[in-house]
A and B are shown apart, each in its own frame.
Chain A
């Protein structure tokens, strides 16, 4: 191949690669959820729920592996429709926060499950205070 040559991948091949990458990511997510022991059911059921959460996470603006993993894990840990409940709804709907920041907050909330960070689980979002 000549230096500087452009390799074109056909749309079919690209779709196949994307599909393969998506499957691999779902496998990793599923294994992670199983190892965290936060989900019941068969592997098929967990995989199916992972796929649903990934879809819903993408529509909420999450895109990177970690952002989506935080979202999916939150779905298993906090309940299926956690995004409709406070405090998660407030975090997810805050337009001032980037997806990365929202994912970080979800990770803090996952840490908080056993009451380490907050006794009452209250979450505050988007309010800047005077020093």
Chain B
């Protein structure tokens, strides 16, 4: 067979296996390396076995999978294992060299096993106990004197078998799963009739999970686009939700203070319990429902293990949504510096932002190919708006009653992550795992003002948001969805131009805002 092709074996063969497993593998390998299979133990002379004369010779082994799962379609797969150094590409049945690997998929032990017929074909047999078959399957190792054996296989246990764990564990369960390997061999005397002598042949069966996973994730705009309102200088620009959040926190802090002062309260419960009680009370008063976005968050993650279908919980997404909220609060710091000014009449503000709104659809699972290989079939698409925002400020500005200024900031844009529909339907297709954010959001603005009639000034500035990824992999063998998306706000510099009737014009670059390296950080695949 052509060996350069990418198979599930080569992908997962590099996986680090657990230490004990490696050690046990080593036990039998070391024994085979250090002790002769033909030399009599403890003998000083090379024994010369009696020359066998009765024809007894192997031709090939045949593996037949009568109910193969060829991308969801039932079919039959066969592989012939023989001692033949000549390559036979496109052969039917698939031809493998002795020692070759036949890959299959199989369900968990909660289902019926995947069956393989193991057959040894001989040119002739001596009439004794040949051929000897030694095999291992899901029921354990065994042996017999005969020509065939029906073998049964199940996949190795997965983290999802005893109830569905966290969402990301399920999403990436496949890429963390190592296949099981089973060895099969047949041996005879090796006395030919007409063909070359073949005393033994062996091969391996590698078992991958047959589970099919499906993910449909729709993330709504968690904080609805809304215009911010100005209340007073000290509180800055806040949404109604921000203000309610602060009130809840205040109620909690007040409860904590009271708790610390009172020995009676300490005897009743913990500070945390007391604080939570008052925060919940405040939430009810304000009509705040923390889970109101949950109805809009649509996630469907299923694992189909033959007859079983499991659904994953969305706990991890709640963590993700909290990160989105944090990012949106951070975004509002754009206007924090504005709130430090005393704003005069003629205020016009519009600030809208959405983080990480979009859809992810994916379906994946190992499937058997027509030859000896198994591959990870993947289909899916991703479309996520990392930031979708628009800013439009027009503010009149008075400072200590002396200056009149006009400040403005405008812009809109989208930073998005798009992976158009991809599909891997054969083992030779390579899917590119990396996807980079695209688009930009770069609002710009300025200040124009006058101090009395003597001085006039202009400041122009630009705010740049950038998105990047860190070890971000999607829809590939290494991970279905894993890594970080980082959103960064670059430092904001303003170019100040000041004109004075007395001293002329001067220009200076000033830093309006520090950069924010982690304006948003979204972790997938935990």
Counting residue pairs across A and B whose Cβ atoms lie within 8 Å, the total is: 175
Contact of B24 among A69, A111, A126, A128 (CB under 8 A): A111
Partner of A105 from B119, B134, B180 at Cβ < 8 Å: B134
User: B67 CB to closest chain A CB, in angstroms?
Assistant: 13
B44: chain A residues at CB < 8 Å are 14, 17-18, 20-21
Shortest 3 CB-CB distances between A and B: which pairs? A108-B141, A22-B42, A118-B140
B140 touches A87 (CB 8 A): yes
The answer to whether A28 and B140 touch across the interface, beta carbons within 8 angstroms, is no
A120→B187 CA distance, assembly (Å): 27
- CA gap between A33 and B143 in the complex, in Å: 26
B284 within 8 A of A: no
Inter-subunit contact A128/B129 (CB<8 Å): no
Q: Check if B148 sits within 8 Å of A96, measured CB to CB.
A: no
Q: 18 A-B residue contacts at CB 8 Å?
A: A18-B44, A26-B42, A62-B41, A64-B35, A73-B31, A94-B143, A96-B145, A97-B129, A101-B134, A107-B31, A110-B24, A111-B25, A112-B141, A114-B20, A116-B24, A117-B140, A124-B140, A124-B142
Q: Are A104 and B185 in contact (CB under 8 A)?
A: yes
Task: Give chain B residues whose Cβ lies under 8 Å from the Cβ of A68.
Answer: 35, 41
Known: A117-B140, A125-B144, A128-B148. A63 touches B132 (CB 8 A): no
Enumerate chain B residues within 8 angstroms of A127, measured Cβ to Cβ.
144
Task: Tell me, in angstroms, the Cα distance from A102 to B12 when the chains sit together.
Answer: 31
CB neighbours of B137 from chain A (8 A)? 117
Q: Could you mark each residue 12-47 of chain B with 1 if its beta carbon is under 8 Å from any beta carbon of chain A, else 0?
A: 000000101101111110111011111111111100
Main secondary structure of the interface of A (DSSP, over half): helix
**Shortest beta-carbon distance from A62 to chain B in Å:** 8
- Residues in B109-144 with C-beta less than 8 Å from chain A: 109, 117, 119, 129, 132, 134, 136-144
CA distance A111 to B30 in the complex (A): 11
B181 contacts the other chain (Cβ, under 8 Å)? Answer: yes
Q: Which residues of A contact B26 (CB under 8 A)?
A: 36
Q: Known contacts A73-B31, A124-B142, A126-B145: does B134 contact A64 (CB below 8 Å)? A: no
CB-based contact B140/A97 at 8 Å: no
CB-based contact A69/B132 at 8 Å: no
B430 in the interface, Cβ–Cβ < 8 Å? Answer: no
B138 to chain A, nearest CB (A): 6
Return chain B residues, CB-CB under 8 Å to A113. Answer: 20, 24, 27
B184-226 Cβ-contact flags toward A at 8 Å (1 or 0): 0101000000000000000000000000000000000000000
Q: Do the beta carbons of B20 and A128 come within 8 Å of each other?
A: no
Q: Which of B34, B109, B187 is within 8 Å of A100, CB to CB?
A: B187
